[in-house]
Chain A
Amino acid sequence: MTTVQQIINALLLGGLLALVALGFSLVWGIMNVINLAHGTFIMLGAYTAYWMFSLWGVDPFLSIPVAMLLLFVLGAILQVSVINFIVRAPVLATLLVTFGLEILITNIALKLWTADVRSVQTHYAGRGIALGSLSIPYNKLGALVLALIITALLWLFLERTKLGRAIRATAYDQVGARAVGINIGRMYALTFGIGAALAGAAGALISTTSAITPMMGSSYTIRAFAICVLGGLGSVTGALVGGLLFGFIEVFGVVWIGPGYSDAIVFLVLVLVLIMRPQGILGRAFSAGVQEAGGA
Chain B
Amino acid sequence: MKRLNWMIVIGMIAVMVALAAACKSSKPQPASTGTAAPATSAATSPAASFAGTVTIGASIGLTGSLAKEGKLTLDGYKFWEQWVNSHGGLKVGDKRYKVDIKYYDDQSDANQSARLMEKLITQDNVKLLLGPYGTPATLQDAVIAERYKIPMVEGNGAAEAIFNKGYKYTFGVLSPAKKYLQGVLEIAQTEKSPAAKTVAIISDNDAFSIEVADGAKAFAEANGLQVVSYEKIPQNTTDVSALITQLKGKNPDILLGSGHFNTSVLLMKTVKDLNLNAKIYGFSVGPSIPDFQKSLGSAADDVFGGTQWTADLKFQDSLFGTAKQYAAEFQKAFGYEPDYHVAESTAACEALQLAIEKAGSLDTTKIRDTLAGLDAMTFYGQIKFDSRGLNIYKPMAVEQWQKGEKVTVWPESAATTKAVYPTPPWSQR
Contacts and interface: CB of A to CB of B under 8 A. Distances in A.
A211 B266 contact: yes
Interface stretch (A162-170, A251-259, A278-286): A251-259
Contact of A250 (B16, B18, B236, B239): B239
A34 to B, nearest CB: 13
Interface residues of A, number: 63
A249 B14 CA distance: 38
B26 to A, nearest CB: 4
Given A86-B8, A111-B25, A104 B18 contact: yes
A119 B8 contact: no
B8 A93 contact: yes
A149 interface: no
Nearest to B68: A115
Contacts of B11: 85-86, 89, 93-94, 96-97
A116 B26 contact: no
A2 B242 contact: no
B370 to A, nearest CB: 36
Interface stretch (B37-45, B295-303, B412-420): B295-303
Nearest to B7: A85
A140 B245 CA distance: 15
Contact of A97 (B15, B234, B236, B238): B15
B207 to A, nearest CB: 15
Contacts, number: 168
A100 B14 CA distance: 8
Contacts of A210: 238, 266
Interface string B210-245: 000000000000000000000111101111111101
Interface string B271-310: 0111100000000000000010011110100000000000
Given A104-B19, A104-B21, A211-B266, A119 B295 contact: yes
Most chain-B CB neighbours within 10 Å: which of A213, A220, A252?
A: A213
B18 A100 contact: yes
A101 interface: yes
Contacts of A137: 273-274
A290 interface: no
Contact of A2 (B238, B246, B275): B246
A6 B15 contact: no
Contacts of A10: 242
Interface in A130-148: 130, 133, 135, 137, 140
Interface stretch (A63-71, A120-128, A188-196): A120-128
Given A130-B275, A258-B231, A119 B245 contact: no
Most chain-A CB neighbours within 10 Å: which of B11, B15, B26, B243?
A: B11
Nearest to B263: A211
Most chain-B CB neighbours within 10 Å: which of A6, A115, A125, A264?
A: A115
Given A96-B12, A126-B273, A135-B275, A259 B248 contact: no
Contacts of B85: none
A272 interface: no
Contact of B236 (A118, A140, A219): A219
A2 B19 CA distance: 48
B242 A117 contact: no
A121 to B, nearest CB: 5
A117 B291 contact: yes
A45 to B, nearest CB: 15
A86 B265 CA distance: 39
Contact of B262 (A125, A213, A254, A262): A213
B68 A114 contact: yes
The 4 A-B pairs with the shortest beta carbon distances in the complex, nearest first, are A115-B67, A119-B295, A100-B18, A254-B242
Nearest to B426: A126
A95 to B, nearest CB: 9
B195 interface: no
A198 to B, nearest CB: 18
Contact of A215 (B7, B64, B231): B64
B125 interface: no
B71 interface: yes
B238 A219 contact: yes
Nearest to B271: A126
